[in-house]
Structure 1
Amino acid sequence: MMRKVCSLLFAMIVMTFATIQSTDKVYAALSDIPDKYASEINYLIEQEIIFGYPDDTFKPKNAVTRQEAATMIGRSLDLENNRQNTKFPDVTEEHYASGYIASAAEEGIISGYADGTFHPNEKVTRAQMATLLARAFDLDETSSHSFTDVAKSAWYYTPINKVATAEITVGYPDGTFKPSKDITREEFSVLMARAMDGNVDSVSQDPEPQPEPDRTETVIGEKMVTTDSLNVRKGPGTSYDVVGKFSDGQEVKVHEEDGSWRYVSGNGVEGYVHSAYLADIPKPVIAEKIVTTDNLNVRKGPGISYDVVGKYSDNQEVDVHEVDGDWRLVSANGVEGYVHSAYLADIPKPVIAEKIVTADSLNVRKGPGTSYDVVGQFTTGEAVDVHKEEGSWRLVSSGSVEGYVHEAYLTDKPSVNRTVAIDPGHGGKDPGAVANGLVEKEVVLDVSLKVREYLRDSGINVVMTRSSDWYPTLDGRVNIANRNNADSFVSVHANAFLSSANGVETFYYAKGMTDREYKSYKLAGYINERLHKSMDMTDRGIKNAGYRVIKATNLPAVLTEIGFLTNDDDAAKLKTQKYRDEAAKAIAMGIIDYYNWRE
């Protein structure tokens, strides 16, 4: 029996010596313990409340987590540490601190979150640590002590006041407590040692806070928020406090990943959001194209040596995001990659209407307004396709020119195929009027050929009774129109009379007012209205007259006089290409007005 007692006593002496040796070794090894707080930290190490790391460091600036706080408080109070399945689903029997967490929770020192979880890895703030110390050490006494950043209405006011009254803390030199700051191992050790043993060095200011690391320095991606009023939380879970909100479409930078949660920042707000509410930011679309071949390989990079990541079918419309030499980064139907530009073409824009330009040298602009750059011009009578309406502006195209023009300079294009007979008066042996160096047959042929050009540009078929210097008979002119199935007839002349006579006039024939005669009357009105304005000449009006070419036909027919060769002012204008063009455009637009009226 005595031998057994001696053996047991010897064993206890050896164990005690080993413990002392181990503690001495810790003192010597933990070289990063701050001298100013060595007493407090070494006191906790001596009491086996806190230990160093395997690399023989203390890491005083590391943050303290909830599981670490529960463990150290549990050790200081000698709470049970039997590993067990706790009431918290995220703290199971396998967790090293499960016993201390369960015991501390049972004693009312620490609690979980509304969803029943514990968040063992969440960092502890100074306000939370004050609450734990006040509960653990039954601190009840309060005083008038205050800190500039601790409002009396704050939930943490009372526990912070209690630890300050107990002289466990005096805060920082600037009079603050910094309740929201994560507490470090250094700070925790100082406060815990003061709470456990009032005989430790006299109370001084809390350790100066380490600058918070900027978690936004590293960017691992960029995303876009896909829902409105998305809660931004303090930690990776719905039980954490909301620190802000993001709106739908908000672009954010991603800094960290934590399971299905992401630490993000944007518009001055940073925190955690669930990845389900984030999506890739759509790449800017610089063009839209259509695929021109079937089974087009879509590659991972700009070249045939890159892997194929998908295929496009013929006529597939794609968005173009980047240009890389002859290759294009495109996307469509969830497939994104590179294709060669040779297999892409412009997408034909839908045509919602066809119009005729009514102004000469009409500026075509890059956007719907006069502030946009001019990208081209259209001429009077030119037919254009309308692709889009934006207010009073129209996106139109003709040939290689595409852009915006104001609707005021467009008129409807006749929707029915039309054929008009243009009759340049006189010709050949019949010169017509001759005055002021002008010959009527030459002037009206020049103008009539221009009318043909404008009408053809507008999609209207034109039959010329003559296109050179020869003389068809009056009835021959009518026959040419009838043989070619013309649906209207316009004879072009220039007037002659006294030198004082001037201006333009247009004739129609009407014995009564049959349908043909009424149409002739309307045709004369449309042409004369355009003509006198474009030529800036006197409007002599429209008149009923029985000229053979407009009387002998069964078509709506008119004869228009584009000015007096015998008048100096009129003749001066008709000598210039500018006014001959104006006359031709006016006649053509008058004919188009007439056809639009008929529809």
Structure 2
Amino acid sequence: MSQFYKCQREREDYGQSKIMYRRSMRITMLKKIGSLLFALSVLSLVIFQPIQEVSAEELSDIPDRSKENIQLLIEKEIIFGYTDGTFKPKNPVSRQEATAMIGRALNLDNTKQETTFPDVTSHMYASGYIASATEKGIITGHSDGKFRPNETVTRAQMAIIISRAFNIKGETKRSFPDVENDSLYYEAINSIASAGISVGYPDGTFKPYNKLTREEFSILVAKAISENGDYVVQEPSEDVPEEPQEPEEPKDETVEVIDERIVTADSLNVRQGPSIDYDIVGKLTTGNAVKVHKLEGDWAYVSHGELKGYVHTYYLVAKPGEATPRTVAIDPGHGGRDPGASANGLVEKEVVLDVSLMVRDYLKDSGIDVVMTRQSDWYPSLDGRVAIAQKGNADAFVSVHANAFMSSATGVETFYYAAGMTDRERKSYHLAKFINDRLYKAMDMNNRGVKNVGYRVIKATTLPSVLTEIGFLTNDHDARKLKTQHYREEAAQAIALGIIDYYNWRD
């Protein structure tokens, strides 16, 4: 064989080898991809698929008291267990999970989709239920436009969701000492209590701010969808912890006594820490006097003789004969370089300063201390106003403004901010309602109501805070009144009386 043909044959053999090698590599790669896809499909079944065809008996950790309720939800595929064979009854139930359960119970559309909430995207497992429930008015977002899907549901929020979802209306009035008749959630709580869905705790309270577990929410949903409502399962009582924890020595924080208060509850649990997740170390009863050593949110570290621990401040009041301090911050809006709205010959910063100074004088005559964020024509920043109030030891904050919009807009409105239902937010709502109810009547103006809006000046403070609008400068009718000294005095007196109403309600 000549050298030429030898080289040619070697090149052909080499080319064939390359082709065979590439084919072999492609086959091997396809096999690997197939194996990988199979593994992923198996893994997806393990990770993402809940246990559906199981009974409550097969889930190892469901308490006996709630098996009947949870079994009903499992049969209807409203809730599922986890892949490890547990139900995890003590896990908190999030807003997303609660909405998904309600969505399944009502057969709502669960097609994943974009929602009106910036923090709920189409890839989230409950996005369809959230969109559908929002459209039907069952759920709403927070005042900042967010849904907060991972936030734990409170009992008050649960009452609102369930009463809306199942159209439950109260036929009889139920009374809970910790649920005010004019609270945002009173009607919802009354409705589900009247229907026997949630009758509260053994001590007669409802505990609207307590957070819900998967077990508790399951019981309530099961009761709501049952045809005869024949369930004897009681809500878990916080008086009997189901899972005893290792005892801890309570910290001795009795270095200083900042206050003395009286217990109002028939039986008040004293806990090792500032939440119901901590063990009970003792109990107090009605009339017990306690020394308050420390405040942490809505909880107080107290002592009564040798007993020391945390209690919820809702069940504590000032000792008789001792006046609770009353110091309100009055904030005339705008000022200095910021004139606010201008119309009909009126400038907002001037009108509200005049009214606010009269509010100050009315309150001082009634024995209420006042901190002014400004008393002349200058501009404190929004956060600066809050700092002035808090530095002055104020326990409430009222910002006074005048409105502006199209000429047909008229009336009085008052804003508060609430992202949830904390004690501060509850007090803010009542402060707004007391002021607004007085103001629209005194001004003889349209009542535009009390609204939840996250204005910076009432959102960035730890105090109960409101912002009130005393009329529209852009409306001829409102403006004519705000030009007169008589109606400015009426506005000032109404705001002051609303603040006094609030303090009388609070104390």
**Range of TM-score over shorter length:** 0.3 to 0.5
Which structure's relative contact order is higher, taking Cα pairs within 8 Å and 6+ residues apart? 2
Instruction: Name the structure where helix makes up a greater proportion of residues.
Output: 2
The structure richer in strand per residue is 1
TM-score relative to the length of structure 2: 0.39
TM-score by length of 1: 0.33
